[in-house]
Amino acid sequence: MPCPAETGPVLITGCSSGLGQASARLFQAAGYRTVATSRRGSDLDELCKLGCDTLQLDVADEASRRAAVETVQQRYGAVAVLVNNAGRGQYGPIEEIPLEQYRRCFETNVFGPVHLSQLVLPAMRAAGRGRIVNVSSLAGRVGSPGGGVYHMTKFAVEALADALRPEVKRFGIDVVNVLPGPFASCFGGKIGETIPDTGPDSPYADYKRNLEKWMTEFMRPDRFGTLSCDRVARVVFKAATVPRPRTRYNVGFIAKLGPIGRALTPDRVVDAHMARQIPS
């Protein structure tokens, strides 16, 4: 990418906290015109004080997506970098999760990034350059029980990148996915809230309790292998700014080794191992 003074704006979704906020800080400190967004504009006061431009954007709402991109392009011209960071978690047994929750998760994690990409691409094409960075996940390469809905959305983001990347390459546009392993954020503390409460008579009652315990432990900030938001943000920044980015950046040893181990291990062995980890 050219130096900050020569580029257009960097549009980042999901900046109220965690990785989005850390990424916005990095881009702003490096001199990029940084547009930080979140569903609630009041969550962006700290970034505003740092010099970021801030904008309300609900990535799960089509009208909000259109309005945000139009505003950014009217103010600053073609988006130079789109960072699709906003995400929604969903955990619990496939059978018990209402379809509406599936739709909400896909709207945020898949349709939001797809539509935002569609909205910024025409101006990127006209400018002859641009970059779309998707914050994907290890969950887009390795599935696990109890997280099926979330994993489905991240697998879709991986497929999106593989399709979009060669389609737009000839226009000078890169598509890069960043796949972190577990990292410390408020997301980890909200896992239990997403598991559907269907009462003590649910056939999955014990399973759901054990699922919450296992996921909370897996995402624990002080656990070996858990990354900091700042470390992941540095990779997001690199993916957005290096002249010749890789197609994917797996962040942390869990994200690097997990897909390899999963590919080499028979399904039934993995199933048995996870049944011991999350007993039902």
The pLDDT score that the predictor gives to residue 189 is 64
Residue 205, pLDDT > 90, answer: yes
The pLDDT score that the predictor gives to residue 113 is 98
φ, ψ dihedrals at 180, nearest 5°: -80, 155
The pLDDT score that the predictor gives to residue 5 is 47
pLDDT digits (tens, 9 = 90+) for 48-94: 999 999 999 999 999 999 999 999 999 999 999 999 999 999 999 99
Burial of 166 (0-12, 13-18, 19+ CB in 10 A): exposed
Cross-strand partners of 178 = 135, 249
Average pLDDT over residues 27-53: 94
The pLDDT score that the predictor gives to residue 1 is 55
The pLDDT score that the predictor gives to residue 188 is 60
150 is catalytic: yes
Nearest to 13 by CA among 109, 89, 100, 78: 109
**Chain centroid to CA 183:** 12
> Does the model's pTM come out above 0.85?
yes
Cross-strand partners of 84 = 134
The pLDDT score that the predictor gives to residue 73 is 97
φ, ψ dihedrals at 178, nearest 5°: -110, 125
The pLDDT score that the predictor gives to residue 70 is 97
Residue 3, pLDDT > 60, answer: no
The pLDDT score that the predictor gives to residue 220 is 84
pLDDT digits (tens, 9 = 90+) for 116-168: 999 999 999 999 999 999 999 999 999 999 999 999 999 999 999 999 999 99
Domain ranges in the chain are: 4-277
Q: Which fold has domain 4-277?
A: Rossmann fold (3.40.50)
Under 8 Å between Cβ of 137 and 258:
no
C-alpha distances (whole Å) from 265 to each of 92, 215, 260, 269 are 24, 22, 9, 7
| Position 6 confidence tier, pLDDT thresholds 50, 70, 90 | low
Among residues 76, 91, 102, 150, the one annotated as catalytic is 150
Task: Look at the alpha carbons of 54, 58, 59, 64 in this order and tell me if their dihedral is positive or negative.
Answer: negative
Q: Quote the mean pLDDT of the chain.
A: 93
Higher pLDDT among residues 221 and 82, named by residue = 82
The pLDDT score that the predictor gives to residue 51 is 95
Residue 171, pLDDT > 60, answer: yes
Under 8 Å between Cβ of 148 and 94:
yes
Average pLDDT over residues 232-248: 97
